[in-house]
Structure 1
């Protein structure tokens, strides 16, 4: 497995405008600084937790999921360990592209998509249109993504600009294991409940409970995948006294039951 060398994503991905660029590699470092490509990017990772930051949001990429990054979107990549394996395919923009390709989002990877992706493991570098067989297969992979990726998952949280809300979300992150309610936050920060509700909707385009729930599930994913804690331990650490409630909420947000993550965790980390 290759390692990232000489910031390949800056010098190689966009060298030819009409090629599909394929790269499977061990990260080899704990940060890929902010950059962008002229091509759309399919990114799948194995072997650790990965965060991906754009100017507006922070995304959490768990095992058995991929993220689509539209062309021109600035982003930085933050893996939990340099040993994370990244599987990338970069595709030229086409005027006929589905609206799917204009949105940064995370999707589950089913068995068919996994097989197709692993088939590309034999390729590295530019695939030119003249290479009809390989190029046709790679292009078909892109065209299948909207069909195989029906439900984007809300595994991202926006950044607040309002100074008051910055302090509030930092407080929530520090007290994630506590049973914090909306009124408690309003009282703690001396703001009316009505004003607080408006602040969340205006700044984050979601309610307090939506934000705090997603924050808890992202933390839960980290504890399951990176720290490899038991499900009941994870539930308690993110503020759930009821294991069924945590499990049902996790399933609704992430798209798979936490028991499935525990069951396949070793497989995904290889």
Structure 2
């Protein structure tokens, strides 16, 4: 998709504020940082994506959907090829406010929502109020708060602080190693005290919290997008104990690694449809 086509698509999403806009296609990645006048639901059949918004990165695994409130600047990055991406853009909820629609969230997709999304797979473009398609999609939107009680609690903060960037890069490039504050400080020219202070000031979490988030996020990615065993993944993201890895993973995601890996099987078993 060339740049002019991308710009036209972004404009088309908001040109009819009271319409629901449907786009079942390939991805919204490589778009500029942008925002919509409408709330956005995105569901990906296959692959892994990251949302970058509000100085944080959000991990979207299989069998989960992403909700982005109206007016939130964002861009999406797709790490792996997907069969199809389902995007639905809903009008603002000013008249019928619900706190659910005002915050970014990543939620599991139950069978009901999955079937509703697949039912709409042949619709694209503006869906006008008063049509059966609009009423169907409005029902889909209205049930989201009731079926989405448990957001995925994995959010990795990001920063534009150039001083901290080498330390963050070092962590990502040496994730399988034993990483300590002292080791990273020595490798990147910080004192331990200064590096600790910069982490807190720039990311609002400690070095150890950040390291844990990155390790578990990378593990989630590998569980869904590689054929490595759970033991191999644990070692690749820096754990030398399978039980420690499993317990940390459970505390942060609410699932054991083996259960999370089953999301890959569930995603692959879906009929991806034929819409392009």
Quick check: 171-180 or 50-59, which moved more? 50-59
Partner of 2:39: 40
Deviation at 1:112, TM superposition (A): 3.1
Change in CA separation of 1:90 and 1:173 when aligned onto 2, cut-off 3 Å: same
Task: Give yes or no for the alignment of 1:246 onto 2:231.
Answer: no
- Count of aligned residue pairs for this structure pair: 263
Query: Contact 1:52–1:60 at 8 Å: present in 2 too?
Result: yes
State how far apart, in whole Å, the 2-side matches of 1:254 and 1:114 are.
Answer: 21
Q: 1:83 to 1:63 in 2, by over 3 A?
A: closer
Correspondence list, 1:36-115, <5 A: 36-54=35-53, 56-95=55-94, 96-115=96-115
Report what 1:146 is aligned to: 145
Q: Residues of 2 paired with 1:162 and 1:26: CA distance? A: 33
Question: What's the RMSD between the two structures over aligned residues?
Answer: 2.5
Q: Which residue of the partner structure matches residue 157 of structure 2? A: 158
**What's the TM-score once normalised by structure 1's chain length?**
0.86
Distance in 1 of aligned mates of 2:244 and 2:83:
31
Tell me the residue number matched to 1:119.
119
**Cα offset, 1:156, TM superposition:** 2.9
Query: What's the TM-score, normalizing by structure 2?
Result: 0.84
The alpha carbon displacement at 1:84 in A equals 4.1
Mapped to 2, the partners of 1:149 and 1:83 lie a distance apart of 24
Cα offset for 1:252?
2.6
Which segment is superposed worse, 252-261 or 232-241? Answer: 252-261
- Show the counterpart of 1:205: 204
User: Where has structure 1 moved over 6 Å in runs of 4 or more?
Assistant: none
| 1:151–1:210 distance in 2 versus 1, CA, 3 Å | farther
Query: Which residue of 2 is the match for residue 171 of structure 1?
Result: 170
Q: CA deviation at 1:123?
A: 2.8
Shift in CA distance, 243/150, structure 1 to aligned 2, threshold 3 Å: same
1:15 equivalent in structure 2: 15
